Amino acid sequence: MSAPLISAALVSWFRQNGRDYPWRQTRDAYAILVSEIMLQQTQISTVLDRGYYARWLALFPDFATLAAASESEILKAWEGLGYYRRARNLQKLAQVVVTEHGGVFPTDPAAIRALPGIGPYTAGAISSFAYGLAEPIVDGNVARVLSRLDNDATPIDSTTGSKRLWERATELVQATEDPRSLNSALMELGQTICKPTQPLCPQCPVKKHCRATDPTSLPVKSNKTQMTEVTERVVFIQTAEGVLLEQETGARRTGLWKLPALPENLAASPPPVLLKMNYGITRYKVTLWVHEFPATAPQVWPDNHRLIPHRDLATLAMPSPYRKALDKLLAHSAFTLMA
């Protein structure tokens, strides 16, 4: 494929049609980094329409403020976005930038890639979007566009497929004088026109260069994600003083608060169900059962359990499914008026 012609067509199209996101209005590496981390496995509409991006930058406007923040502040600001490890890793990176780079994000691509938690995509995104460097990016949207352009059925999750994608992306970004617009165009094209299903091929700015004969069959993946069904059973315990919550210690949601797990001694014959909810996370399809805790059942709770006053419930960071469950339970609670 003719890289200069394709790159020129993409840049021209993007300059006329690119959407005006806030992170496209800045060259600040920190603001761009925050957007890239937030948008990992999260839709743009969630990040923007629900105010996560603006709130985060208001609370933590630079590397120094983020590096100095408490974990509870960070988790609360991230609440509802899920994949909380992203927030923790973002703070670790900020601390390295402060301690090892004087609070200034490096401009050299090799130095960027050496930062903790920075992979090839994020390094390329910041290098091109903040500094205008000819560094490639490959995410899901870009992989789809490139696979279709070359009608390449090599699985994109294979070593060979990944290598080809990065080589193509490098060829394109090095064929333009505007790497920022070129990389933005590749992503935008995948989001708006070269979509997974029902691609809008007649509207594509590079349709005359595209070799795809069956676009919807591309890209190919060798490993399809299999969903695993999981059951979570918890209890709702409330008094006039507050609600009993458990602070998680697992790797996935450490530090967040949730309804306490159903004690093992009640698992064989669970108490009545107050609420049932379904939610998904990564490759898991979870059914959440909230049980009434028997008033007559004695229980010694571990140290990571605490009775939280009603007035403090909103200030704690909770996984979104548990926040929704708690809100529903409190809406029908006799103690709600006492908060």
Q: Which helix (H) or strand (E) holds 104?
A: none
Distance CA 16, CA 19 (A): 9
Closest CA to 82 of 227, 252, 314: 252
Distance CA 273, CA 259 (A): 14
In the three-class reduction of DSSP (H, G, I as helix; E, B as strand; rest coil), residue 295 is classed as coil
Provide CB contacts within 8 A for 103, sequence distance 6+. 62, 63, 64, 97
Q: Kind of pairing, strands 284-292 and 228-236?
A: parallel
Closest CA to 121 of 145, 94, 139: 139
Question: Counting every residue, how long is the chain?
Answer: 339
Q: Using an 8 Å Cβ cutoff, are 110 and 170 in contact?
A: no
Provide CB contacts within 8 A for 27, sequence distance 6+. 129, 130, 131
Residue type, 9: A
Q: Does residue 135 carry a catalytic annotation?
A: no
Choosing from 36, 188, 232, 246, the catalytic residue is: 36
Q: Residues with catalytic annotation?
A: 36
